Amino acid sequence: MIEKFRIHPMKILSSFIQTVKNSFILILFLFVFNFGDVSMAIKIGRGVFLLYIIIRLIFLIIDWSKTTYEINDGMIQIKRGVFQRKQNSIPLQEIQNITWSTPFYYQWFNITSLHLETSSTNESASVQLDAVKMNLAEQIEQLTTTYKTENENNIDDIDEMETEVNKLSKSDIKDNHRNVHFSPTRKEVLKASFLSFSFLGLIPIIAIGYRELDKIVNLDQQAKGLFTFLTSSWIFIVGAIFLLIILAVAFGIIQTYLKYGKYEISSDEERIFIYSGVLNEKVFSIQKANVQAIRIKQSPLKKLLHFSEIKLISAGSNEGETDDIRSLYPFLPTEKAKGLLVEILPQFPLTNAENKLPPKALYMRLLRLPWFWIIATAFIFLFK
């Protein structure tokens, strides 16, 4: 049995930082845009906001002290609540996927957050363990795998099994004969930065930054003067375009590296592990037996360049979710991706499609289109 434990006090600071981030616009309005305003309305607004921040901090401290976790008899139990106590219990054998999230400030304290998912779809289908020690998180992950395996073999000595897992050291749990199947090279990361079009992300950042800064300082006049200066010579125009391209490419490469620089796909006898992130590390862990389907996806550009994205589907996972941590590196060459899939999950044989859909299927899909509204819109566009 893993005795009762509380999450690390760093959770208080993490939640407080999130509160400040959610109030960022209000902070700008009260303390930046109206810095010199001494009107009564602004003073009252500042006082109410500071009171809210103090009450929120006190609530976070009390909530942290009232939240406890315990693993006993094959169940993970969570007790929480400030004004009304709630208890939630989830069997370890129902846990399907485990996602580790380790922001850079968690790494300083050797802690992480675990998201445990089950095959259910109700409110208690998942458990979030915030700010737990690394060694405890590894024990929990190993215990979920070991318990499910032993439970399938009809072994009832749960306490003895949990004791053996608790004796395992961090290195024993982490190594566990894991085979590394893929880790991108610098060339592949560079290629991914262009295929993901991450360099285009610089445009909205510049636009939003200009708009927010213009609220504080009037930039219209300066922008007009700069535009006049740049258009005064074709050398300045070419130089400005070249500089913008360099900044966009550098932004895309940095952003892609922070996401895929330490990317790694590995597995052991029971689980598949997908590592992602440089500053904010993320690890997705899923039992091989829980992978119920795979989805191979190709955008028009990826299809043209022979790249594929393979996503692992399990019970309880949402088909519409866009979390890349569940994908086997979204920028793998198609043949390499299929070979990697055969290596990790040989129970999913890949065969080429021999039969195509009949023409009737195309006609039925065309009938789904709102033809009346399309024709009506075309008439309005032509005549109005």
Question: Where is pLDDT greater, at 51 or 327?
Answer: 51
pLDDT above 90 covers a percentage of the chain that reads 3
H and E: helices and strands count for the chain: 15, 14
Are the beta carbons of 143 and 98 closer than 8 angstroms?
no
Q: What is the pLDDT of residues 171-196, one digit of tens each?
A: 444 455 778 888 888 888 888 888 77
How confident is the model over 154-166, as a mean pLDDT?
48
Beta strand residue intervals within 214-349, DSSP E: 264-267, 271-276, 281-287, 291-297, 307-314, 332-333
How confident is the model over 4-22, as a mean pLDDT?
85
Beta strand residue intervals within 183-290, DSSP E: 264-267, 271-276, 281-287
How confident is the model over 146-158, as a mean pLDDT?
55
pLDDT at 161 over 90: no
Query: Alpha-carbon dihedral of residues 123, 125, 127, 128, nearest 10 degrees?
Result: -60
- At a CB cut-off of 8 Å and minimum separation 6, what does 256 contact? 189, 190, 192, 193, 196, 198
Q: What is the pLDDT of residue 54?
A: 93
Amino acid at 239: G
- At a CB cut-off of 8 Å and minimum separation 6, what does 237 contact? 230, 231
Q: What is the pLDDT of residue 226?
A: 65
Query: Backbone dihedral region of 257: left (phi > 0), alpha (psi from -120 to 50 degrees) or beta?
Result: alpha
Rounded alpha-carbon distances, angstroms, from residue 168 to 49, 159, 343 = 48, 15, 28
Residue 308 CB neighbour total at 10 angstroms: 23
For residue 226, give the H/E element and its range: helix 220-230
Confidence of residue 53 (pLDDT cuts 50, 70, 90): very high
Q: How many CA atoms lie within 13 A of 126 on its CB side?
A: 15
